Structure formats: structure tokens, C-alpha cells
Structure 1
Amino acid sequence: MNTAKNEIQSLLQKLPDDCSFEDIQYHLYVIEKIRKGIERAEIEGVVSQDEVEKRFDKWATK
């Protein structure tokens, strides 16, 4: 399991040398949102693409 420090070091190695603090903050924000989304999906489950399309069709036709 990667630690937060390891993940940040990996991120910094991937970013260009001239990146700004805002660039770093943005990437950290995105990583955290993705992590929380995956965690929520594992806990609550997911909806299949077919089910999403069915629900959307019902909503969109009203």
C-alpha cells in the first residue's frame, strides 16, 4: 500500500519542473476525489451502464 508521502513523491516526479503550486494542488485534489469515489463504490456498490441508461431515458423523456 502506498503512503500519502509516496504518492506525492510519485506525482511530483510526473509533473513538469515548471509546474505551479496550483498545478500540484489540482492534481492532489483530483487524486483524492478519485480515491473517495472508489472507496464509496466499494462500500455502496455501483450501477451498471444499462441501468444508468434506463434511468436516464425515463428522466429525459418527461
Structure 2
Amino acid sequence: MNTIKEAIKSILNQLPDDCSIEDIQYHLYVLEKVRQGLDIADTENGLKQEEVEGLLRKWLIE
């Protein structure tokens, strides 16, 4: 996986030149939340793909 610095560089390169500081902050916030979620999924007992599909199927049909 990329380092945090590389991920930030990638985000900055993808944003338009006229983006605001708020745009950058938002993308950094999302990056951090996704990283935290992946860390939690790696360290805690998460649901397996089949379990998630079963739950979604139940919720979407009812």
C-alpha cells in the first residue's frame, strides 16, 4: 500500500488547480476515514462477504 505521503500527493495531483483548501481538507478527511475503516476491518472480526450479501439481500427485499 502507498504511504500516507504518496496518497496525499496522489490526491493533490488529481484535484483541479483551482480547488479550495476546503476541497483538500475534505479529500484528506475521506482518506483518513477509509484508512481507519480498513485498519478496523483488519484488526477486528468483521463480516465475511457472504454474510454481508445475505444481510443486504434481506434488507433490500423487505
Count matched residues: 55
- What is the aligned partner in structure 1 of residue 14 from structure 2? 14
RMSD: 2.1
Structure 2 unaligned spans of 5+: none
Structure 1 unaligned spans of 5+: 57-62
The 3 A distance-change label for structure 1 pair 54 and 6 is closer
- What is the aligned partner in structure 2 of residue 32 from structure 1? 32
| TM-score relative to the length of structure 1 | 0.72
Identity %: 51
Larger Rg: 1
Please list every run of at least 4 consecutive aligned residues from structure 1 whose deviation after the TM superposition is greater than 6 angstroms: none
| TM-score relative to the length of structure 2 | 0.72
